[in-house]
Structure 1
């Protein structure tokens, strides 16, 4: 379990050997497992789903560092993932800022809009690869797989508050 933004979130990992290939968070164990299965299948990863308290502690510390230092502290090999360019482009969005889905799509225009959305919903390292920084054209919050709109609003606001300090 990881405590983040006053939420106690279940966490699990896709692991092959001693490598963490993905992780996810959720409010519900079966939804968490389904999300990791989708990530594994989408990216063609050969990995087991693992629940591990020591990894939870490690990732909770990395998440705290992410917000404290306003940057990703994980070393993620993006070449392992389908549509890695989508994830690379997400990492270019500055901490505490948002852009629209349509502007983001233009940045990674070699893929269809549907492919980009599927890649976003199969993000192997949510929060660290910041798909939460995308909003609709009208400025409203779109969906946020797997944690929902309320969580997405909270994380965007939290980043903005930190950025302004």
Structure 2
């Protein structure tokens, strides 16, 4: 019995020296690699997160539900989606930090994971045409940020960034 008390006391003494790091700022996340994520450096953290090592999940980061700046903007499936003024741009997708907007639907971020500096895996909560649904989709930047690929319903959709 005395031996158990001594072992327990020794274990508690060892644990007493342990501390859990707490972020100094409420909206910062420490990824353990020296990088801190906050709204002002979202794109930089995604760029530095890729460790370059192989294997699933290598360099993966959690983005606190916000899409990095490199992915933001207006994207069209065909050139007319970016330039139409008649409201018939059915292939236009607008990417904002917290949502994606399409011709007849809107999607908010339910879950977001950074796979690499150019790839995100998103779970999107859609609403549109009186319906609601959830969809998992990768978002992949290509051609130095000029193209964005999204897979939806088994279909690969390749968007081109709209001009300013």
TM-score scaled by structure 2? Answer: 0.21
TM-score scaled by structure 1? Answer: 0.21
More strand by share: 2
